[in-house]
Chain A
Amino acid sequence: MDYLELIHINKTFADTTVVHDFNLSAQQGEFISLLGPSGCGKTTTLRMVAGFEFPSSGTIKLNNKELTNTPPNKRNVGMVFQSYALFPNMSVAENIGYGLKIAGKSKEEINQRVTEMLSLIHMEDFGKRYPARLSGGQQQRVALARALAIRPHVLLLDEPLSALDAKIRVELRQEIRRIQQQLGITTIYVTHDQEEALSISDRIVVMNEGKIEQIGSSTEIYNFPQTEFVAKFVGQINLLPVDVVNPTEGVVRLGQQIIKAGQFGHLNGNPIRLAVRPEELDHGYVEGANNLSGKVESISYLGSIVRIRLDIEGHPVSMDVFNERKLSIPAVGEPYQVTFAVDACWLI
């Protein structure tokens, strides 16, 4: 049964529609990420669930109860902000217990829940400290504990890791996922970081210009993008303009070289592009696969991978290979042959 439902949600500020016909159903305990570039409407959508913004039209339901126009303090929805938003005048324990105090819980209950939450975030000895004495990562853990202490129906996280450095970000996102799974709490997570979304989500909602581009699991979003935007936004991709040779077989031509696409829809004469991920390309020639010839334009070392940029029929093509010690790197300008499976590419 659907736990959180957003039905035909629209949000307009003055003359600008920032969220357009947004529909989403989340199951209880599901972790859903809203992924998209800045200004795509993901934070506005989250804020409508939190009650900080109200939809111009549409309905928000939680556990079958409508809360479209319920004020934020009556929703029992936990929120974690990018800027932590810890109360500077309160200690860690007071921050965590704040929501319970407001709810009129007894001191014993508050103390017990605060201890429980401090243990959950592995900060048992930090209760008396003030936010000023904590690192960014610690502050965000406290913010998470504070949001969870009230036992919210839904947990909302608005780019919670954006202000942290890369290493802490990776650690904390795993921590968030662990806590979410431990508590089984329905979670909506807003991010513009595709790696973050792909690594911790049950489902991802990719948004662009206020609209949903695609909803799916990490595998579906990455391997089977339904739109050009998703293909380009999530991961790296080569998009090559091709001419159709055989529309029923999915055979196309890039310059003088023939390619067979694994997925193709109705090729109705519109400009067609072949999509293939850089990691799907290999060096060499394989019988029965797609084989293209070009020359090396540049080489980039990206740590664990090496990106070789090729010129194939006048079009740039990227190929990623694992950076092994035995890897032989081609010289710039050298002729180079790449191969990729028919199933690895598709037509957009």
Chain B
Amino acid sequence: MKTKKRNMWALFWAIVALLYFFVPLYGTLDFSLRMERGRLSLMAYQVVLSDPQFLASFQYSATMGLITILVSVLIFLPTIYWMYLRVPEARPLMEIITILPFIIPVIVFAFGLIRTFSGPPLQLTLTPFKTDILITIGYVIISMPYMYRAIDAGMRTIDVRSLTEAAQSLGSNWFQILYSVIFPNLRFAILSGSLIVFATVIGELILGDFLVRPALGPYMVQVGRDTAYQPAAMAMLSWGLTWICLGIIQFFGRGVNSQEIVSR
């Protein structure tokens, strides 16, 4: 009797949670389809997708997202690997450092970047290319907690030291160890981190706005201010894009978990 009652409560809360998640989503979807008076249509999506500014800003943010992922992986993978291998006692310090972007508001950080890099000796705001370098640095820093934690979680599932030493005894140099042993075993973790980094960059507003770059975030804010139905369509498109990314992660990460368990 008690178990039955508990199951009923579990079901109740599950339904509440599903409603909490899906009702606003349904509302947004429904609203995005009502641009034409009196009938459902995909006009809002057509308008969004045919707007060259949307495509340009999406392309810019997507490119920056991919570059940010690449730079983040190149920085954090060897760093975290080295920390696990040689200085595991530095882990608490790394935890604190990587959480700083959560503590410092992005607007403060953006002002700091602009003040530091808008004058000599390292002036990075004079040309679009240099500003892109600056914004990439910014993106890498604000997405650092996500990428660090994803790789850190992956590292914990494998016996880094033994795998490294096994590879070394078989003749591998450091690059070969990272490329052929460590990286493939962290594929799932890196993909997870990459998804969050990508999503962060795609939706990022302040850096793009303050550094005056054609990013998607500022564009979405502007569209939201000027129009009614297109922001809802864009929200649904972002949601779909997220699911596509999750699907990609599932596809590339299939089978990885079961192999990781044994390596412990």
A binds B: yes
Q: Which residues of A contact B (CB under 8 A)?
A: 50-52, 71-79, 81, 83, 85-89, 98-99, 102-103, 130-132, 134, 139, 143, 146-147, 150, 156
Beta-carbon contact of A73 and B259 below 8 Å: no
Q: Whole-angstrom distance between the alpha carbons of A132 and B262 in the complex? A: 5
Q: Whole-angstrom distance between the alpha carbons of A74 and B158 in the complex? A: 25
User: Which A residues touch B259, using CB under 8 A?
Assistant: 88-89, 130-132
Beta-carbon contact of B260 and A88 below 8 Å: yes
Query: Which of A85, A86, A99 sits near B171, CB closer than 8 Å?
Result: A99
Q: Given A81-B162, A83-B159, A89-B184, do A73 and B262 touch, yes or no (CB 8 Å)?
A: no
Number of B residues near A (Cβ < 8 Å) is 27
Whole-angstrom distance between the Cβ of A56 and the nearest chain B Cβ: 18
Number of A-B residue pairs with CB-CB distance less than 8 Å in the complex they form: 85
Beta-carbon contact of A99 and B262 below 8 Å: no
Q: Whole-angstrom distance between the alpha carbons of A150 and B166 in the complex? A: 12
Beta-carbon contact of A73 and B185 below 8 Å: no
Beta-carbon contact of B263 and A86 below 8 Å: yes
Q: Is B168 interfacial (CB 8 A cutoff)?
A: yes
1/0 per residue B99-122: CB within 8 Å of A? 000000000000000000000000
Q: Is B163 interfacial (CB 8 A cutoff)?
A: yes
Q: Is B173 interfacial (CB 8 A cutoff)?
A: yes
Query: Which of A73, A132, A134 sits near B168, CB closer than 8 Å?
Result: A73
Q: Whole-angstrom distance between the alpha carbons of A180 and B14 in the complex? A: 60
Q: Is B165 interfacial (CB 8 A cutoff)?
A: yes
Q: Is B127 interfacial (CB 8 A cutoff)?
A: no
Query: Which of B171, B256, B258 sits near A102, CB closer than 8 Å?
Result: B171
Beta-carbon contact of A79 and B263 below 8 Å: no
Q: Whole-angstrom distance between the alpha carbons of A131 and B258 in the complex? A: 10
Beta-carbon contact of B181 and A81 below 8 Å: no
Beta-carbon contact of B172 and A102 below 8 Å: yes
Whole-angstrom distance between the Cβ of A3 and the nearest chain B Cβ: 18
User: Which A residues touch B187, using CB under 8 A?
Assistant: 89
Q: Which of A81, A87, A98 has the most CB of B within 10 A?
A: A87
Q: Whole-angstrom distance between the alpha carbons of A314 and B240 in the complex? A: 83
User: Which A residues touch B173, using CB under 8 A?
Assistant: 73
Q: Is B126 interfacial (CB 8 A cutoff)?
A: no
Q: Is B170 interfacial (CB 8 A cutoff)?
A: yes
Whole-angstrom distance between the Cβ of A132 and the nearest chain B Cβ: 4
Q: Is B169 interfacial (CB 8 A cutoff)?
A: yes
Q: Is B23 interfacial (CB 8 A cutoff)?
A: no
Q: Whole-angstrom distance between the alpha carbons of A293 and B213 in the complex? A: 97
Q: Is B261 interfacial (CB 8 A cutoff)?
A: yes
Q: Is B176 interfacial (CB 8 A cutoff)?
A: yes
User: Which A residues touch B169, using CB under 8 A?
Assistant: 50-51, 72-73, 75, 77-79, 147, 156
Whole-angstrom distance between the Cβ of B21 and the nearest chain A Cβ: 34
Beta-carbon contact of A85 and B168 below 8 Å: no
Q: Whole-angstrom distance between the alpha carbons of A50 and B256 in the complex? A: 30
Considering the complex, which residues of chain B in the window 21-40 have a beta carbon less than 8 Å from any beta carbon of chain A? none
User: Which B residues touch A78, using CB under 8 A?
Assistant: 169
Q: Apart from A81-B166, A99-B170, A139-B262, what 17 extra A-B contacts exist at CB < 8 Å?
A: A50-B165, A52-B165, A73-B168, A73-B171, A78-B169, A85-B162, A85-B166, A88-B262, A89-B259, A98-B180, A99-B171, A102-B172, A131-B259, A131-B263, A132-B258, A143-B166, A146-B166
